[in-house]
Amino acid sequence: MTEQGATMDAPARTETAKPHLPDAQTVTQVTHWTDRLFSFRVTRPRSLRFRSGEFVMIGLLGDNGKPLLRAYSIASPAWDEELEFYSIKVPDGPLTSKLQHIQPGDEIILRPKPVGTLVHDALLPGKRLWFLATGTGLAPFASLMREPETYEKYDQVIMMHTCREVAELEYGRQLVESLKDDPLIGELVGDKLLYYPTTTREPFHHMGRVTDNLTSGKVFADLGLPPMNREEDRAMVCGSLAFNIDVKKILEDFGLTEGANSDPQQFVVEKAFVGDGI
């Protein structure tokens, strides 16, 4: 296993003898955060335009020579000249059992057709924007937290991220930390971004599920905010199907309505992955 947080950068670009994949992009950096999580950056196709928060299909060539693709949220903002992804490593997962071994200079397949519901256009104007995530569901918000529009549209932005263990929060923690001094958007972020990471299975200064911290009112008390309400609060949700279902119910109980690109409302939801048995 690679050391936690260890980053490999691309060597100076050289001609390689590797086969050229369809829609190929070159890996420029890989960082392993835990034995289950890593992030990586790849070159960005010149023609690729996307809205921060959207996802694309990426992958590798399978053993049968055909592309093996999965949906991945773009974790970098729309203005970044490269693309960043934040990934799970599923030990026997068809894609990630291989993808976790990529190194700078390798190629991945990236279909340049971004889509998704976690976009600013799908929400009506509001005062506060809540990003609610578990695990790799942080990825679209890693993009949106670096998006100027986020801070231009809202007075406060609250990032609630819950994982089982402290080490699983590290990618998000470092990203939030880096925003303060970011030459491009640091000033815009100012003190608007409130970060509320929690764990559920390892002691940490804040603990508990996103759902419990919302229903008990603990997060509002801790951050000095009023309970969510339809007039002021907007939310974007990204986690397992079970998480999304439970959060959706809570947001509806606060009076918020689910929206979509074609029908902007008070909150939007996207699955962080499929197949958790529900």
Binding site for ligand FAD (CB under 6 A): 55, 70-73, 85-88, 90, 93-97, 135-136, 139, 270-276
Beta-carbon contacts of residue 26 (< 8 Å; ≥ 6 apart): 10, 13, 42, 43, 105, 106, 107
Q: Which does 184 bind (CB under 5 to 8 A by kind): ligand A2P, ligand FAD, none?
A: none
Q: In the complex, what is the shortest distance from the CB of residue 207 to ligand A2P, in angstroms, rounded to a whole number?
A: 9
If one asks whether residue 163 binds ligand A2P (CB under 6 A), the answer comes out as yes
Q: Which of 86, 246, 250, 251 binds ligand A2P (CB under 6 A)?
A: 246
Q: Interface with ligand A2P includes 136 (CB under 6 A)?
A: no
Cβ 258 vs Cβ 248: under 8 Å: yes
Q: How far is the CB of 99 from ligand FAD (least distance, A)?
A: 7
Q: Quick check: 217 and 227 in contact, CB under 8 A?
A: yes
DSSP 183-229: TTTHHHHTTTEEEEEEESSS--SSBS-HHHHHHSSHHHHHHT-PPP-
Residue closer to ligand FAD by CB (options 142, 176) is: 142
CB of 66 to ligand A2P, least distance (A): 29
DSSP, collapsed to helix, strand or coil, labels residue 236 as: strand
233 binds, among ligand A2P, ligand FAD, none (CB under 5 to 8 A by kind): none
Nearer to ligand FAD, 117 or 198 (CB): 117
